[in-house]
Amino acid sequence: MKMTLAEIARVVDAELLAPNKDAVVTSVAFDTRQIKAGGLFVPLVGERDGHEFIDAAEKNGAVATFVASDHQVDTGMAQLVVDSPLAAMQALAKFYLLMKVNPKVVAITGSNGKTTTKDMTAAVLAQQYHVVKTPANFNNEIGVPMTILTMDPNTEVLVVEMGMDRPGQLHDLSTLAQPDVAVITMIGEAHIEFFKTRDKIADAKMEIVDGLKEDGLFVYNGDEPLLRERAQTVEQETKTFGLSPDNQLFAKNIVAKADHTEFDLSKWPDLHFQIPVMGEYNVSNALAAITVGRRFHVKPEMIQRALANFEITANRTQWVKGTQGESILSDVYNANPTAMKAVVHDFATFATAGKRIAVLGDMLELGDASRELHQSIAPELDPATIADVYLYGPEMAALRDVLVDKYPAAQLHYYTADQQAQLIADLKADLTADDIVMLKASHGLHLENVLTALTEA
């Protein structure tokens, strides 16, 4: 970006305290470690008050800082005094998006699959356009405007992931980004602790169309009745994808392998698709990306090539090698019942010369339904296919309680939250080079520590 302090002050309605109002800002950051020369610092208030780091931002090259009107700071930098630094950053992002760059915007949300769908969609569109996508999981009220503000001026398409954990959040993000295409991958039980029912989760997810342009497109998973019902109220064009033939785009001849999945489309019978990730649920994500690609007139052969080679964000169903030679399926970033059942189901089918071992940690934010939803994983676990099960965390005690009649005691292992070191030790002692292991839990369980212990000597 390239904007003068005076211009930024007008956009965000700030009082500008600066000797040189024509000084140019070339980047924005809320983390002083990301500040560059010419940067604008955004002091956010979280566990620490970002105003405490204004001196550090100046030392790292910042030329200006937002300052909340209820704070007083002593700095040699230019100050843009605003009611809320976060709101000012969001207003600046909206201006930069619409008035400076003006790319097409694809917004993606869903209880599962939004990050993978974002990666797939960006890869498809990059076949013909200059694309910027949400980095990592920058998908909230801070991450979305930061993604916008880091766009190159020549960006043609912005693929932005949008998460939510409360009503109204997607409304705000959608009206900020004003997407040309809005995508919902699926409705699961994520955050059901706060929303209480899947119906209310669906209502909150539908907020992604609140900012959809009048000539925009709403793309959604037609296998979900909750979305089909709500899509009837959307005035813009809609398209469905899914595994059922009654969708406008559906897959057939799905073949799931440990390291990739193959499928065909009735729409293009001469093309055979392959994606470098496992599971039918990822086929649905690919169908969403294909639908968006066709909206932007990407040729089928180019879509096929992009999906075969897209790069997935770290810690989402990745195969890695352990120090003992074992193969590890790492999915330690997030978990909810729908996703966990799908991954365990697929894992049970993968070929191995040794044992299949599942390491499952708590799924968080399930509220009063937590015990029942943890126990709902039990039908996917069978000692005939998954030899050993390691359960970790207080919520997984519920799953242990229903597996004790199904698994021999020597093959069912349970650990409390303070026993991760013991879990690691026992797992290492149990593993052989021929085994395959899956790790899945909500990020708050930090199974990435178990992954590190298994992969680093």
Q: How many CB atoms lie within 10 A of CB 453?
A: 17
Q: How many CB atoms lie within 10 A of CB 250?
A: 21
Q: Which two tokens stand for residue 46?
A: 């979280």
Residue type (1 letter), 11: V
Do the Cβ atoms of 72 and 54 come closer than 8 Å?
Answer: no
76 is in an annotated binding site: no
104 is in an annotated binding site: no
Q: Which two tokens stand for residue 341?
A: 């059942």
Q: How far apart are CA 354 and CA 269, in angstroms?
A: 38
39 is in an annotated binding site: no
SS (HEC) of the chain: CCEEHHHHHHHHCCEEECCCCCCEECEEECCHHHCCCCEEECCCECCCEHHHHHHHHHHCCCCEEEEECCCCCCCCCEEEEECCHHHHHHHHHHHHHHHHHCCEEEEEECCCCHHHHHHHHHHHHCCCCCEEECCCCCCCCCHHHHHHHCCCCCCCEEEEECCCCCCCHHHHHHHHHCCCEEEECCCCCCCHHHHCCHHHHHHHHHHHHCCCCCCCEEEEECCCHHHHHHHCCCCCEEEEEECCCCCCEEEEEEEECCCCEEEEECCCCCCEEEECCCCHHHHHHHHHHHHHHHHCCCCHHHHHHHHHHCCCCCCCCEEEECCCCCEEEEECCCCCHHHHHHHHHHHCCCCCCCCEEEEEECCCCCHHHHHHHHHCCHHHCCCCCCCEEEEECHHHHHHHHHHCCCCCHHHEEEECCCCHHHHHHHHHHHCCCCCEEEEECCHHHCCHHHHHHHHCC
110 is in an annotated binding site: yes
338 is in an annotated binding site: no
- Taking the CA atoms of 220, 221, 222 and 224 in sequence, report the sign of the dihedral they define: negative
Please calculate the CA angle 182-188-190 and round it to the nearest 5 degrees. 100
Q: How far apart are CA 114 and CA 118, in angstroms?
A: 6
Q: How far apart are CA 279 and CA 319, in angstroms?
A: 13
Q: Which two tokens stand for residue 169?
A: 């959040």
Q: Which residues are annotated as a binding site for ATP?
A: 110-116
Q: Which residues are annotated as a binding site?
A: 110-116
